[in-house]
Chains A and B, each alone.
Chain A
Amino acid sequence: MDNPMNNKGKLPIRAACLLTACAFIIYGFARGEAGVVLNKAVNICLECIGLG
């Protein structure tokens, strides 16, 4: 059986995860990862369609 923490107990974990997520997104965006994603996504991905 689960023994879930109550919601008050989960708040710090959620806050920490969200702060980490924001920091990761900003850092990743700033160092140009979004450009790599965009470059991959706007061209036909031969691996994705089974030809690569």
Chain B
Amino acid sequence: MIAKIRYAVKRKLLQIIAFGCSNAHVLNFKGGKLYTGKWKQFCNPGLNCYSCPAAGFACPIGALQAVNGSMQFTFSFYVTGLLLAFGVLLGRAVCGWLCPFGLLQELIHKIPSPKLHLKKGFLYLKYIILVVFVLILPVAVTDYMGMGKPAFCQYLCPAGTLEGGLFLLAAHESLRKAVGALFNLKMAILLLTVVGCVFCYRFFCRTLCPLGAIYGLFNKISLYHLEVDSHKCIGCGKCKEACQMEVDPVKTPGSPECIRCGACADICPTGAVCLGFSTKCGKTLP
């Protein structure tokens, strides 16, 4: 029984710790200030807006757009290198175990409601958002000084509205006076995300998150990986039923949608599914 709840408990604990470490400066909420220390030059592995008063690190997607759209640079080796390192080491385990916005989505999904499946076509939307809003627009659309704007943050990101916008607007009257159509658009996206997350598990993570799209590309080669022992697997299909990301771990252990939550490993009656940095299971199913 202890083995069966192990991944679920371990993951939830690590998610809470990661959320706390990413947002340690809670006293900044009073007065609506931002943490301005040197740690903010480093990127959080998960999605966490750097305009959240409590944030201690930079958001990797915001940082990527900021450098790519800056006057000095058109490509960020620094942020790309960090994403490459996180991706090769952990893949989408970052989403499942370390992402603060992922934890928020899971908590929202606990609101009682009918739970819906997501059509496969929606899963590809995040790749389009990554290419168009994160990689192309900040570099291609620039002002007279040659500076681009972070298009994903500006038009889409609900994490910025939730973690930064609402708290900062509550604290600063001058910011409240600047509210306009753009803020209303972002509030509508935030509302859509919250409603989507109530009905669909990790709605934003699966459909809109460009960071999830990046890490998903590394799932086939990441050091932290999932394996299925072909000798132990009895083909009962319980792992597929348990997967809230709607992945079949037996057929696609390296699926870009798998967030390495371990629900499949927890439910497997024969212990055929393994997660980890080293190979514990032995032979992987072809």
Contacts and interface: CB of A to CB of B under 8 A. Distances in A.
B41 A34 contact: yes
Interface residues of A, number: 42
A36 B73 contact: yes
A3 B286 contact: yes
A24 B135 CA distance: 17
A43 B255 CA distance: 38
Interface in B242-258: 251-255
A41 B84 CA distance: 21
A24 to B, nearest CB: 3
Contacts of B66: 36-37, 40
Nearest to A29: B78
Given A14-B88, A36-B73, A50 B254 contact: no
Chain A contact residues: helix, strand, loop or mixed: helix
Contact of A25 (B85, B149, B169): B85
Contacts of A37: 40-41, 43, 58, 63, 66-67, 78-79
A41 B41 contact: yes
Contact of A40 (B58, B82, B225): B58
Contacts of B154: 47-48, 52
Interface string B52-91: 0001011100110011001011001111111011011100
Contacts of B142: none
Contacts of A49: 51, 160-161, 164-165, 168-169, 175, 183
B85 A50 contact: no
28 contacts: A2-B254, A6-B284, A13-B221, A17-B88, A18-B85, A18-B89, A21-B85, A25-B78, A28-B77, A29-B78, A31-B73, A33-B67, A33-B78, A34-B41, A37-B63, A37-B66, A38-B38, A41-B63, A45-B49, A46-B178, A47-B150, A47-B160, A48-B51, A48-B62, A48-B165, A49-B165, A49-B175, A50-B183
